Each structure stands twice: as structure tokens, then as C-alpha cells.
Chain A
Amino acid sequence: QKEVEQNSGPLSVPEGAIASLNCTYSDRGSQSFFWYRQYSGKSPELIMSIYSNGDKEDGRFTAQLNKASQYVSLLIRDSQPSDSATYLCAVRGNDMRFGAGTRLTVKP
């Protein structure tokens, strides 16, 4: 069974801090990696995609991929209360698999 694992949280950080979200996956053939944000009662929204080892930055978000360790992470700098949501890691190999999500709370 090919799995995507995330710490379910909740993860709580103060406003302005860096939030670090982690994800591991089991399918070594995976080629594409995504982070989605889901607010309560809403649909998942794509915030980052990464395809090669290293870091990819987009505004306050940085995705990090290490295929050798089968590990992908998302860093949120200068966290804001509006970042409070569940973050889903998704991995595409032969199919697309989602982790269970990490619930993030940013406290003012």
C-alpha cells in the first residue's frame, strides 16, 4: 500500500513565527508533490507544487523536497491567523494520494 503520512497535529504557532509542516511518502516512483490548504467547510486549494529536489519559494511559502529521504515539507514564514487551516500533502506516482492533513492554528 502506497502511503502518504502527515502529523495530524494540531500544530499551534504564534503569529509571526515559522510554521513547519512535514510529509513522508512510501512510493519511490513518485514524481510530483503538492501542498493544498483547506479551510473548514471549503475545498482544498493548491498552494505549492514541487517536482525536483531542493527548495521552492513562493512568497511566504517554501516547499522542500528530498526524494532520497522520501520527505517533503512546507514552511510558512511570518505566519498569520489567516493561515489557520488544514494542510494536505499530495503525492503523484501512478496515481494521486493525499495525506490525512495537518491542522495548523496561528494564534494572534
Chain B
Amino acid sequence: DAGVIQSPRHEVTEMGQEVTLRCKPISGHNSLFWYRQTMMRGLELLIYFNNNVPIDDSGMPEDRFSAKMPNASFSTLKIQPSEPRDSAVYFCASSPTNHEQYFGPGTRLTVT
């Protein structure tokens, strides 16, 4: 079975540009999570969805960040406009309800 799929794997963009990160969860998993990881702050939960519905977005740092899950097999995390401090590795994870999470390979974002 395919694991969690994320794209792109690497993104380099200039400050002010829009960035869209994509995630395909494991088939049958009904929870999806977006995380950001940096050396300074570790792994931070940004937002999670249950059955395509956003449940908790309290970790989203600012209004510049938004996430959608239009169906059970696809989610996006958008940053508009991007800033250098957004540079990090962004992970998507999925899980069956209230069970262990499985992480995708991550997207390494660099904003110059």
C-alpha cells in the first residue's frame, strides 16, 4: 500500500509568493494532520481534519496560512504571502480515528 504522499518534496520561493503544499492521505484513514518542523520549535501541529472537516486550527500561525480538504483523498496547505520565517519542513500525516499517525516524506520549504 502507498503511504502518505506529499508534493512537492522541495520548494524554493521568494518572499511574498504564494506556496501550495499538497497531501494525499492513506486510503481509508479519516484523519489528516499538517505539521511544521524546525530546529528551534520542533514538531508543531498546524491543523487537523476528521472526515474532511477542520477540527482544530489553533496551531495555524497567522491568517497567511490556510488549509483545505475538499475530499477524503486530498488536502492542501497554502501560505500567502510567504515569508522567510515560514522556511521549515512541512509534514502531512494521516490516521484512522484516534489511532497512530503515519507521516508523509515532508516538503522542505525555503523562502528567500
Residues on A lying within 8 angstroms of B by beta carbon are 32, 34, 36, 42-46, 49, 88, 90, 92, 95-101
Contact = CB atoms under 8 A, between A and B. Distances in A.
Interface string B4-19: 0000000000000000
Interface of B: 33, 42-43, 45, 48, 56, 91, 98-106
Contacts, number: 38
Contacts of A43: 91, 103-106
Nearest to A101: B42
B33 A98 contact: no
A11 B100 CA distance: 26
Nearest to A97: B45
Contacts of B99: 32
- Pairs of residues from A and B, 10 with the lowest C-beta to C-beta distance, nearest first: A43-B103, A100-B42, A98-B43, A44-B103, A49-B100, A43-B106, A46-B100, A43-B105, A34-B100, A43-B91
A74 B104 CA distance: 23
A43 B5 CA distance: 12
B33 A96 contact: yes
A96 B45 contact: yes
B105 to A, nearest CB: 5
A81 B101 CA distance: 26
Contact of B43 (A32, A46, A88, A92): A88
11 contacts: A34-B100, A42-B105, A43-B105, A44-B43, A44-B91, A46-B100, A46-B101, A96-B101, A98-B42, A98-B45, A101-B42
Contacts of A46: 100-102
A95 B98 CA distance: 9
Given A32-B100, A36-B103, 12 more contacts: A32-B99, A43-B103, A43-B104, A44-B43, A44-B91, A46-B100, A46-B101, A49-B100, A92-B98, A95-B48, A97-B45, A98-B42
A5 B20 CA distance: 32
A43 B102 CA distance: 9
A90 B44 CA distance: 12
Contact of A95 (B56, B100, B103): B56
